[in-house]
Amino acid sequence: GDSVTQMEGPVTLSEEAFLTINCTYTATGYPSLFWYVQYPGEGLQLLLKATKADDKGSNKGFEATYRKETTSFHLEKGSVQVSDSAVYFCALSESGTYKYIFGTGTRLKVLA
Amino acid sequence: IAGITQAPTSQILAAGRRMTLRCTQDMRHNAMYWYRQDLGLGLRLIHYSNTAGTTGKGEVPDGYSVSRANTDDFPLTLASAVPSQTSVYFCASSDTVSRGYTDTQYFGPGTRLTVL
């Protein structure tokens, strides 16, 4: 079945460091790919998404490119801030379905 | 715009008791979902509803039931709570699936449930 694998956390970085959180997936069809962010005590909210191969999703300085050849959707940010401290979830959904598959989440802690 | 509201915010419940978690959305989304979030396991789908009047089972449906009498409400019921149902529960909704891709899910703030 479909699955999402993301890197184990926690990830601890200093402010202004470069961030990469790896995400790979397995899917039988052509899924849409998502990154969601969860701040402490809140629900998940969409960070960015890509709906087809080679699409790049971007938001708030974060970006991720849908790589079909490597089945990956790695999240990157050039310069993290303390306010980026949160848990990040990679997810996929097969086209035409209502179901999502979420990764286990990666906790990011950014130190001032 | 409220989006999705959940109630209660948190609850401590004795094992064997019945509990209903409430979820209401004001976005007129067709699809709604219930997830549980447990440390190290991410989010797991309990039940979902594609449209009012229909429901489906997710990855971990045992011990839970749902109903979808109208577009806005999607309550989750634990008929007889057990300690393994201690978790944070999130309700979510999404708009009609468009051809070729799946729409964004919007999440509520969650309900923290402890079963003793």
Name the residue with higher pLDDT: A8 or B116: B116
Interface touch B105/A46, C-beta < 8 Å: yes
pLDDT tens column, A46-89: 999 998 899 999 999 999 999 999 999 999 999 999 999 999 99
Tokens linked to A77: 């940010």
> Are residues A95 and B101, on separate chains, in Cβ contact within 8 Å?
yes
Asked if B4's CB is within 8 angstroms of A98's CB, the reply is: no
Question: Is there a contact between B102 and A105 if contact means CB atoms under 8 Å apart?
Answer: no
Residues of A in contact with B100 (CB under 8 A): 51-52, 95-96
Report phi then psi at B84, rounded to 5. Answer: -70, -10
What are the tens digits of pLDDT across the range A13-51? 999 999 999 999 999 888 889 999 999 888 999 999 998
> Which of A31, A42, A99 shows the shortest C-beta gap to B109?
A42
Instruction: List, in sequence order, every beta strand (DSSP E) within chain A.
Output: 3-6, 11-14, 19-21, 23-26, 31-38, 44-50, 56-59, 62-65, 75-77, 86-94, 101-102, 106-111
Residues of chain A whose beta carbon is less than 8 angstroms from a beta carbon of chain B are 31-32, 34, 36, 41-46, 49, 51-52, 89, 93-100, 102-105
Pairing of strands A11-14, A106-111: parallel
Average pLDDT over chain A, rounded to an integer = 93
Of B89, B98, B104, B106, which is closest to residue B13 (Cα–Cα)?
B89
Statement: residue B106 has pLDDT above 60: yes
| pLDDT value for B1 | 57
In tens, the pLDDT along B31-73 reads 899 999 998 788 999 999 988 999 999 989 999 999 999 999 9
